[in-house]
Amino acid sequence: MTATITHKGKTFRVDFTHPIDISLPVTKGGVKAWYVGEPVIEPVRMGDWVGEVAQGGTVNFKNITFNPHGHGTHTECVGHISKEFYSVNKSLKQFMYMAELITVLPEEINGDKVITRKSLELFLSDKNPEALVLRTLGNSEEKTHHNYSNTNPPYIDAEAMKYIVEKGIEHLLFDTPSVDKEVDGGALLAHRAFWNYPEKPNTTRTITELVYIPNTIFDGAYLLDLQVAAIENDAAPSRPLLYRVI
C-alpha cells in the first residue's frame, strides 16, 4: 500500500507495505551495554502455581527484568541527564517524522572514533529533516548482539551535536549505546548540547540509541514511525520503523 502525504508544503508518496524495522530486541544473547548482565525473563511462581504452560501452568505469565539503556533499542528524553524528572512517555506528542538516513565513517581522534561536525556537514548542508538516523561504519551484523561494555564505541563530538541542533533536528537515532564517549567523567557534552541542559532544557527532543540499519538499506529520505513503550521513565524500549519515500 502506498499513500500520498503532504508535509511542510511538499508532497511525497510513501510505501507502507515494507516497513524497515531498525530496532534491536530485549533478549538474552542480544545487544547490551553499560556493564549490565543479561535481561531476565522468568515465570511468576505463587505457591504451587507457575506462570509457564510448558511447566504445567494454565498461561504464560512472566516477569521481565532489564535496563532500558543497556538492553536493546531505547528512546530517551532530557530526563536522562536532569535532576528534574522528565518522562519520555510525555515527551512525544506525535510519532511520524520526515527523516534522513546517512552513513558516516567516524574519524580517528586521539584513539577515539568520533562523528565530527565536518562529516555531518558533508551530508546535511542542504537538508533540514525532523529526524536524523546515523549509521556508523563499520556496520557488520555483530552490532545486533554485541556487548559494548568497555569497548569505547563511536560517539558524537559536541560541536557536531550543536550542528544537529542548528539544523532543527528534533529526533536523533544512533547505532551505538550513547552519543557521548563511554567514559568521559560525566561531562555528557553531546547530550547536554542536544537538550540545552541545564540552561534551558528542551523537553520534546529525543535520542534513540542502539538501532541497527543493515547495509542493504540505502541512505536517503524516509518517513519515521517512532514507536516507544508507554513507560513513565527517562527512557523506554522503542521500535523505530522507516518507510521509503518514493
The grid cell for 97 is 517524522
Contact by Cβ (8 Å): 176, 213: no
Give the strand pairing for 235-244 and 74-76.
Answer: antiparallel
How far the first Cα of the chain sits from its last, in Å, is 12
pLDDT at 5: 82
- Look over the chain and give the mean of its residue pLDDT values, rounded to a whole number: 96
The grid cell for 106 is 567516524
For residue 162, the SS3 value is helix
In the predicted structure, residue 8 carries a pLDDT above the cut 80: no
DSSP sequence for 129-147: -SEEEEEESS--GGGGT-B
- The string of pLDDT tens digits covering residues 193-237 is 999 999 999 999 999 999 999 999 999 999 999 999 999 999 999
pLDDT at 15: 87
Contact by Cβ (8 Å): 148, 183: no
- The string of pLDDT tens digits covering residues 120-144 is 999 999 999 999 999 999 999 999 9
pLDDT at 7: 80
pLDDT at 246: 83
Contact by Cβ (8 Å): 228, 211: no
User: Span 80-85, mean pLDDT?
Assistant: 98
Nearest in space to 117 (alpha carbons), one of 174, 160, 154: 160
Question: Mind listing the domains of the chain with CATH numbers?
Answer: 2-24+67-244 (3.50.30.50)
User: For residue 3, what pLDDT band results from cuts at 50, 70 and 90?
Assistant: confident
User: For residue 100, what pLDDT band results from cuts at 50, 70 and 90?
Assistant: very high
* One-letter amino acid of 237: P
User: What percent of the chain has a predicted confidence (pLDDT) above 70?
Assistant: 100
In whole angstroms, what is the distance from residue 5 CA to residue 242 CA? 15
List 226's β-bridge partners, or say none.
240
User: What percent of the chain has a predicted confidence (pLDDT) above 90?
Assistant: 93
In the predicted structure, residue 1 carries a pLDDT above the cut 80: no
User: Span 9-25, mean pLDDT?
Assistant: 92
pLDDT at 42: 98
pLDDT at 6: 85
Contact by Cβ (8 Å): 129, 100: yes
